[in-house]
């Protein structure tokens, strides 16, 4: 006898159109969040084309004249290129070492016996729980003792130490999802730990590494606190610190600051667009596999 | 090529978890040895200890003359094929196969030659440029084998390499693997939970349970002369029939008596030959016949009833019941026209029976091997 399964029959009538209320309740929070992010950015972008007077008269409006005078003034300051260079140097060096050391630690954690690996993982990621403000003074004293104050090397060292925990957290989570058999196959094929790490684990972890790279890049590039604490010489300043120059005691040149902010965010936007695909893959990795 | 010697090897994960206990075995050069047993019996752990992927708690492992117990896997000169193939997903088929040779810094010409030779043997030359995700299960299996054979190792280790293939492909690959092993004559240790694979592939089989080796021998020895109830039950499909009963003496003859029937041993078992009274009688489904025309030492008829018939085409499996005793009969007669519920008389081939101790489960007597 052929049983007619009426319950699971799919016909045009029983495919429900998506309820309009459901659609609104789904879209509204997304639109609200997007506006929350986009509005200030748009205001900053508009303000960077205004004069100070225009900004005070009409802080929220579209610029009357799209003048690039602020950008010209910004780059007319010959130090600005040095600040860019400093930021690039500090950021790229820090991110390079964060990824190199972080991925090595993560590899070590996944290859160690469970208990030892978990202890090391807990120890390293404990660093995420300590706010920078709490360790400002001890770090300052330490760098002073090491004669690393007012040096890029000191700033880079502190940045690496601050960001390694989060890097290890993300990368270990990802590497744990790699099939153990792959690493064992490589060991049997004749690979040393270094070769397993560099030829198997790193290429397969690229999505997670890309997202960690972007994450670390944004934090380091935007970092104001550490340069403010450790860098004194004008020639060593990074961009966020340099932009503070436009903030006076009595008068702040907001259009210049905003022009600086827009210019400073361009490298981040480029890098984000470039790595976007991997970034999303990295953030969702591990969620699908057991 | 080299043999492998495993000497009193133990593997403890902690005090209460014993994975392998007192495992000793000598595998001859060029031999195809199969480790078989149910899940958790320690067969994969044993293989992984030979590979160097698990530490040995106690004991020694030798490959050839070399004690490799504490050696890194890369220094043991072995190749392993994993259950899930473990192909490197970011490398092409060629790169996968050449990876081990590159790491060992072979000259480029030799790498090309070896990879091409191996690929030719396995018929995968046309797949060189493909990534593992673009291959079917069977092709992946071949690439994994290729990666193992290019290295020309002393020993092949295979951890259930066919279990991810569908039934038909598994049978085909089984035969190919055996042919390949014969051709290369490389010592091979093969782990499986499938007794058919073990029986058809191995020169010798080792049956394991709960970390202990139960029996080692040729497929024939294990099938016809199982050492205990576990081995007798595990090997063979359908598995051996077991009937609990007692040995009694009547008119100076030893007889087996159970709920449904009584079997005289026709002087096969002499008085006093077996001391235990409560025993388990074991007989394979193909050692029962509906008549006594064929050669054999047939018992008196046993009255029983057909409960179910499984028709496999070339053979039929009859599920029989004699009073409270149930057993299976394998018939190779495709013309058999019995029906469910029909009463029959069957005869047991006394020259093929086994008697096991009810207490220990150990074999105490079998017709082929005596006591």
Total domains in the fold of chain B: 2
Same domain, B281 and B332: yes
Angle between helices A152-175 and A79-111 (to 10 degrees): 40
pLDDT in tens, B263-296: 887 767 776 777 788 899 999 999 998 887 777 7
Domain boundary among B209, B234, B259: B234
Q: Could you tell me the pLDDT band of residue A283, with boundaries at 50, 70 and 90?
A: low
Say if residue A281's pLDDT is above 70: no
Answer whether A187 sits within 8 Å of B88, measured CB to CB: no
pLDDT in tens, B127-162: 999 999 889 888 998 999 999 999 999 999 999 998
Residue of higher predicted confidence among B240 and A13: B240
Same domain, B116 and B246: no
Same domain, B223 and B250: no
Two tokens, residue A213: 């790279």
Q: Considering only CB atoms, which chain B residues are within 8 Å of A204? A: 89-90
Same domain, B249 and B110: no
Q: Mean pLDDT, to the nearest integer, of A45-69?
A: 86
Predicted local confidence at residue A289, as pLDDT = 33
Please tell me which of the candidates A181, A190, A203 has its beta carbon nearest to residue B90. A203
Mean pLDDT of chain B: 90
Same domain, B137 and B262: no
pLDDT in tens, B89-122: 999 999 999 999 999 999 999 999 999 999 998 8
- Where does B104-159 have alpha helices with state H? 108-122, 137-149
Angle between helices B167-184 and B108-122 (to 10 degrees): 130
Same domain, B10 and B157: yes
- Where does chain B have alpha helices with state H? 43-51, 93-103, 108-122, 137-149, 167-184, 195-201, 219-224, 229-234
Look at phi and psi of residue A20 and say left if phi exceeds 0, alpha if psi is from -120 to 50, else beta: alpha
The residues, ordered by sequence, that sit 6+ positions from A214 with a Cβ below 8 Å of its Cβ are A271, A272, A275, A279
The residues, ordered by sequence, that sit 6+ positions from A242 with a Cβ below 8 Å of its Cβ are A79, A80, A83, A260
CA-to-CA distance for B34 and B52, rounded, in angstroms? Answer: 18
CA-to-CA distance for B180 and B30, rounded, in angstroms? Answer: 12
Q: Mean pLDDT, to the nearest integer, of A195-217?
A: 91
CA-to-CA distance for B198 and B203, rounded, in angstroms? Answer: 9
- Write down the number of H helices and E strands in chain B: 8, 21
Which of A112, A179, A185, A191 is best to mutate for the B interface (most B CBs within 10 A)? A185
Q: Could you tell me the pLDDT band of residue A104, with boundaries at 50, 70 and 90?
A: very high
DSSP state of B362: B
Q: Mean pLDDT, to the nearest integer, of B70-92?
A: 92
- Write down the number of H helices and E strands in chain A: 14, 0
Q: Residues B357, B360, B366, B370: is their CA dihedral positive or negative? A: negative
Predicted local confidence at residue B148, as pLDDT = 92
Rounded to the nearest 5 percent, the helix, strand and coil shares of chain B are 25, 35, 40
The phi and psi torsions of A252 (rounded to 5 degrees) equal: -110, 130
pLDDT in tens, B249-265: 887 788 888 887 888 87
Percent of chain A past pLDDT 90, that is, above it, reads 49
Predicted local confidence at residue B294, as pLDDT = 76
Predicted local confidence at residue A284, as pLDDT = 55
CA-to-CA distance for A270 and B142, rounded, in angstroms? Answer: 44
Q: Are B25 and B60 in contact (CB under 8 A)?
A: no
The residues, ordered by sequence, that sit 6+ positions from A182 with a Cβ below 8 Å of its Cβ are A200, A204, B86, B88, B89
Domain boundary among B234, B265, B288: B234
Say if residue B11's pLDDT is above 60: yes
Of all helices (H) and strands (E), which one includes residue A258? helix A254-284
Which of B57, B75, B85, B88 is best to mutate for the A interface (most A CBs within 10 A)? B88
Predicted local confidence at residue A8, as pLDDT = 45
Residue with structure tokens 């043999």?
A: B3
B371 domain-assigned: no
CA-to-CA distance for B99 and B102, rounded, in angstroms? Answer: 5
Answer whether B82 sits within 8 Å of A191, measured CB to CB: no
Bridge partners for B190 per DSSP: B34, B158
Two tokens, residue B109: 């010409």
Write the CA distances from B339 to B311, B334, B344, integer angstroms: 12, 14, 10
Say if residue A16's pLDDT is above 80: no
Predicted local confidence at residue A116, as pLDDT = 92
Q: How far is A91 from chain B (nearest CA, A)?
A: 29
Q: Considering only CB atoms, which chain B residues are within 8 Å of A203? A: 90
Predicted local confidence at residue A157, as pLDDT = 96
CA–chain centroid gap for A65, Å, is 34
Predicted local confidence at residue A286, as pLDDT = 42
Same domain, B35 and B105: yes
CATH of the domain at B125: 3.40.50.300
Two tokens, residue A271: 């890098």
Same domain, B153 and B259: no
Say if residue A181's pLDDT is above 50: yes
Predicted local confidence at residue A7, as pLDDT = 43
Its domain, for residue B25, covers 4-234
Same domain, B149 and B274: no
Predicted local confidence at residue A280, as pLDDT = 66
Q: Could you tell me the pLDDT band of residue B211, with boundaries at 50, 70 and 90?
A: very high
The phi and psi torsions of B27 (rounded to 5 degrees) equal: -105, 125
Answer whether B74 sits within 8 Å of A189, measured CB to CB: yes
Answer whether B74 sits within 8 Å of A200, measured CB to CB: no
Of all helices (H) and strands (E), which one includes residue B23? strand B18-27
Answer whether A181 sits within 8 Å of B74, measured CB to CB: no
Q: Considering only CB atoms, which chain B residues are within 8 Å of A191? A: 74, 103
Q: Considering only CB atoms, which chain B residues are within 8 Å of A185? A: 80, 82, 86, 88, 147
Say if residue A2's pLDDT is above 50: no
Mean pLDDT of chain A: 86
pLDDT in tens, A106-165: 999 999 988 999 999 999 988 888 888 889 999 999 999 999 999 999 999 999 999 999
Of all helices (H) and strands (E), which one includes residue B33? strand B32-36
Percent of chain B past pLDDT 70, that is, above it, reads 98
B303 domain-assigned: yes
Q: Could you tell me the pLDDT band of residue A251, with boundaries at 50, 70 and 90?
A: confident
* Other beta carbons less than 10 A from residue A270's beta carbon: 10
Which of B193, B194, B176 has its CA nearest to residue B139? B176
Same domain, B224 and B260: no
Predicted local confidence at residue A64, as pLDDT = 83
Q: Could you tell me the pLDDT band of residue A282, with boundaries at 50, 70 and 90?
A: low
Predicted local confidence at residue B15, as pLDDT = 80
Answer whether B88 sits within 8 Å of A181, measured CB to CB: no
Q: Mean pLDDT, to the nearest integer, of B221-229?
A: 93
Q: Mean pLDDT, to the nearest integer, of A80-87?
A: 91
Q: Could you tell me the pLDDT band of residue B240, with boundaries at 50, 70 and 90?
A: very high
Answer whether A204 sits within 8 Å of B104, measured CB to CB: no
B62 domain-assigned: yes
Domain boundary among B199, B234, B269: B234
Same domain, B212 and B282: no
Angle between helices A206-222 and A79-111 (to 10 degrees): 140
CATH of the domain at B325: 2.40.50.140
Bridge partners for B60 per DSSP: B7
Say if residue A4's pLDDT is above 70: no
Same domain, B284 and B344: yes
Work out how many CB contacts closer than 8 A connect A with B. Answer: 56
Q: Mean pLDDT, to the nearest integer, of B305-333?
A: 90
Query: Would you give the end-to-end CA distance of chain A in angstroms?
Result: 41
Please tell me which of the candidates B53, B83, B100 has its beta carbon nearest to residue A189. B100
Q: How far is A284 from chain B (nearest CA, A)?
A: 19
Interface of A with B (CB under 8 A): 179, 181-182, 184-192, 195, 199-200, 203-204
Which of B51, B103, B145 is best to mutate for the A interface (most A CBs within 10 A)? B103
Q: What domains sit in chain A, N to C, each tagged with a CATH number?
A: 20-57 (no CATH), 69-284 (1.10.3720.10)
DSSP state of A150: T
CA-to-CA distance for B219 and A80, rounded, in angstroms? Answer: 82
């Amino acid at each position: 006898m052929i049983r007619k399964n009426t319950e699971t029959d799919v016909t045009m009538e029983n495919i429900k159109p998506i309820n309009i209320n459901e659609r609104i309740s789904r879209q509204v929070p997304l639109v609200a969040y997007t506006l929350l992010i986009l509005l200030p950015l748009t205001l900053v972008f508009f303000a960077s084309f205004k004069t100070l007077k225009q900004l005070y008269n009409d802080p929220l409006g579209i610029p009357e004249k799209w003048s690039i005078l602020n950008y010209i003034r910004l780059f007319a300051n010959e130090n600005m290129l040095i600040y860019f260079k400093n930021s690039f140097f500090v950021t790229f060096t820090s991110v390079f070492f964060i990824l190199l050391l972080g991925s090595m630690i993560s590899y070590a954690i996944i290859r160690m016996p469970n208990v030892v690996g978990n202890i090391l993982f807990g120890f390293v990621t404990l660093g995420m729980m300590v706010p920078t403000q709490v360790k400002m003074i001890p770090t300052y004293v330490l760098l002073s003792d090491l004669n690393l104050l007012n040096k890029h090397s000191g700033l880079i060292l502190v940045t690496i130490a601050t960001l390694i925990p989060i890097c290890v957290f993300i990368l270990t989570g990802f590497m744990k999802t790699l099939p153990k058999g792959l690493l064992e196959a490589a060991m049997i094929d004749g690979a040393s730990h270094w070769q397993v790490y560099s030829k198997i684990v790193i290429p397969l972890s690229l999505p997670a590494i890309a997202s960690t790279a972007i994450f670390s890049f944004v934090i380091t590039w935007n970092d104001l606190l550490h340069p403010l604490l450790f860098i004194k010489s004008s020639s060593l300043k990074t961009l966020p610190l340099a932009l503070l120059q436009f903030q006076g005691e009595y008068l702040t040149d907001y259009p210049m600051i905003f022009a600086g902010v827009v210019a400073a965010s361009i490298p981040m936007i480029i890098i984000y667009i470039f790595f976007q695909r991997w970034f999303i893959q990295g953030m969702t990795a591990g969620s699908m596999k057991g | 090529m080299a043999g492998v010697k495993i000497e009193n090897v133990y593997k403890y994960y902690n005090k209460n978890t014993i994975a392998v206990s007192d495992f000793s075995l000598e595998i001859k050069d060029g031999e195809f040895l199969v480790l078989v047993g149910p899940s958790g019996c320690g067969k994969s752990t044993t293989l992984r200890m030979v590979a160097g992927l698990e530490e040995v708690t106690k004991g020694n492992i030798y490959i050839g003359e070399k004690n490799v117990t504490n050696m890194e896997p890369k220094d043991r000169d072995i190749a392993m094929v994993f259950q899930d193939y473990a192909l490197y997903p970011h490398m092409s088929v060629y790169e996968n196969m050449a990876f081990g040779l590159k790491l060992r810094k072979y000259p480029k010409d030799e790498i090309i030659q070896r990879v091409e030779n191996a690929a030719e043997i396995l018929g995968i030359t046309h797949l060189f440029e493909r990534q593992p995700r673009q291959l079917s299960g069977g092709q992946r299996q071949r690439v994994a084998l290729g990666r193992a054979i290019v290295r020309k190792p002393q020993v092949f280790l295979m951890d259930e390499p066919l279990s991810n293939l569908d039934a038909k492909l598994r049978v085909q690959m089984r035969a190919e693997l055996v042919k390949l092993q014969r051709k290369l004559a490389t010592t091979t240790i093969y782990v499986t939970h499938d007794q058919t694979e073990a029986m058809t592939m191995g020169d010798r089989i080792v049956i394991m349970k709960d970390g202990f080796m139960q029996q080692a021998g040729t497929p024939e020895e294990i099938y016809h002369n199982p050492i205990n109830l576990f081995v007798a039950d595990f090997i063979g499909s359908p598995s051996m029939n077991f009937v609990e009963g007692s040995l009694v003496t009547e008119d100076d003859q030893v007889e087996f008596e159970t709920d449904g029937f009584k079997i005289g041993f026709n002087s096969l078992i002499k008085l006093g030959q077996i001391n235990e009274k409560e025993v388990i009688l074991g007989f394979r489904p193909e050692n029962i016949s509906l008549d006594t025309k064929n050669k054999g030492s047939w018992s008196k008829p046993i009255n029983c009833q057909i409960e179910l018939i499984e028709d496999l085409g070339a053979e039929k499996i009859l599920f029989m019941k004699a009073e409270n005793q149930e057993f299976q009969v394998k018939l190779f007669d495709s013309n058999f026209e019995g029906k469910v519920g029909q009463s029959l008389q069957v005869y047991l081939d006394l020259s093929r029976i086994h008697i096991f101790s009810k207490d220990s489960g150990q074999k105490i007597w079998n017709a082929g091997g005596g006591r």
